[in-house]
Copies of this chain bind each other. A is one copy, B any other.
Amino acid sequence: MTCGVDHKEGDAFYMRHALEEAKEAYRDNEVPVGAVVVCKGRIIARAHNLTERLKDVTAHAEMQAITAAANFLGGKYLNDCTLYVTVEPCVMCAGAIAWAQMGRLVFGAPDVKRGYRQYASQALHPRTEVVEGVLAEECAELMRRFFQGKR
């Protein structure tokens, strides 16, 4: 018998932290995407989209989380890490996830318009394990609410 949380429960736990980040983005009138990086059971980086505040298209949650995690670890490869992000990464972020050789990528809602799978399904590192759909409905609902408010 094993003790502790299994992957599925653990994934939902960390995705809630990513969702908290996404909600912070929402409150700041940013496209509500949040991310955390987890290494050996510990959150080592957390970030949310800041493209409007920084006026910088590269300031996606994932990009900042990858930079912060590498900074924390003192090395640019994140093989032992899992990136949790509330929405399927775009092409840019998928490229960064590949360069970082991320161990696992767990995302919530799919993004059929801007998600990397639409443009570059082979963009990730072949060893990166991908899990989708964790708290997908909550992650998607936040995005829907944001874009409805924009119309």
Contact = CB atoms under 8 A, between A and B. Distances in A.
Interface in A110-136: 116, 119-120, 122-123
A49 to B, nearest CB: 12
Contacts of A95: 90-95
Interface of A: 51, 55-58, 63, 66-67, 70-71, 74-76, 90-96, 98-100, 116, 119-120, 122-123
Nearest to A98: B91
Contacts of A57: 66, 70, 76, 96, 99-100
Contacts of A123: 91, 119-120
Contact of A94 (B67, B70, B91): B91
5 contacts: A56-B66, A57-B76, A58-B96, A91-B123, A119-B120
A67 B60 CA distance: 12
Closest 7 CB pairs of A and B: A92-B95, A120-B120, A91-B95, A57-B99, A119-B120, A55-B76, A91-B123
